[in-house]
Structures are given as structure tokens and as C-alpha cells.
């Protein structure tokens, strides 16, 4: 099922700014992940975080190039040099904003099989991961 995207200017309940909680391994989370993947595929984006679909959970998905991954209860450490680039966001449609981010990221998370993973990414993937992780912190590109 394709889910509705919460837009920052229509977020009367403050979903995009609320504290998020960890995801539990249950049927509800499996259905949510499936719906989020379908939503991202239909919208053609590269990433989608649970708060963007009205769920205050620590969860995001990435679909960029060869990487198609679900990040459950992630923790990141961004490092490297700082780089400014224009970004877009499904919750802030049609407004490109210049955002400064680190060039590399180390992330710890669980995948859909609830296996613990730790990986490092650089370049565009590091930027996308930081962008989606910001959603879990209640931060949007308009905050930069």
C-alpha cells in the first residue's frame, strides 16, 4: 500500500518533529516496511524515513544504485571532510536546499532479518543516510 507523505507545512500534529522510538520485531513493523518500500518505489525517491509516513519509529529505507536496504534502529557516526550540496526531500517538496554534510558515515543497525550490521559508506550514500537519519532526530533540510 502506498502511504501518504507528511509535508512539513501540513504537519499539524508535529510528527516530523517528535521523538521517535525503537522498532519492535513484529508483524506490524514488517507490514510497515513493505508499505514504505512500495511508497518509495512509486514516488521514485532515494530514501524514506518512518516519520515521513506518520510513524514515529527509528526506521528508514534507502534505494540508491545497487543499495536497497532497510535500516532499523540505526546509530550513525559521520566523519570526513564537510561538503555542501543541494538536497531535496519528499516532506519538503520542490525546494532544493544547500546542506553541509560529512563525506563518510559509519552506521550500526538491524536489517529486516533482525541481523545486526555495521557498515561504512561515503559519497552520495553517506549523504542520503545522514539525510534520512536526520528525520529520526526530528530535523529537516529547512533547519540548515
For the annotated catalytic residues, the residue numbers are 132
- Long-range CB pairs of 34-41 (<8 Å, 24+ gap) are 35/1, 35/2, 35/3, 36/3, 36/61, 37/61, 37/63, 37/70, 38/1, 38/2, 39/2, 39/3, 39/5
How many C-alpha atoms does 55 have within 13 Å on its Cβ side? 20
Beta strands per DSSP E along 90-139: 92-110, 116-122
For residues 74 and 129, what is the distance between their CA atoms, to the nearest angstrom?
Answer: 10
Amino acid at each position: 500500500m502506498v502511504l501518504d507523505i507528511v509535508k512539513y507545512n501540513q504537519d499539524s500534529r508535529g510528527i516530523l518533529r517528535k521523538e521517535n522510538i525503537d522498532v519492535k520485531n513484529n508483524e506490524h513493523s514488517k507490514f510497515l516496511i513493505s508499505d514504505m518500500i512500495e511508497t518509495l518505489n512509486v514516488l521514485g525517491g532515494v530514501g524514506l524515513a518512518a516519520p515521513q509516513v506518520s510513524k514515529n519509529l527509528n526506521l528508514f529505507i534507502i534505494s540508491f544504485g545497487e543499495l536497497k536496504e532497510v535500516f532499523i534502529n540505526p546509530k550513525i557516526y559521520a566523519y570526513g571532510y564537510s561538503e555542501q550540496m543541494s538536497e531535496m526531500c519528499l516532506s519538503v517538496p520542490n525546494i532544493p536546499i544547500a546542506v553541509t554534510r560529512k563525506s563518510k558515515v559509519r552506521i550500526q543497525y538491524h536489517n529486516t532479518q533482525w541481523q545486526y550490521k555495521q557498515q561504512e559508506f561515503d559519497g552520495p550514500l553517506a549523504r542520503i543516510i545522514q539525510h534520512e537519519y536526520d528525520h529520526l532526530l526530528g530535523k529537516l533540510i529547512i533547519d540548515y
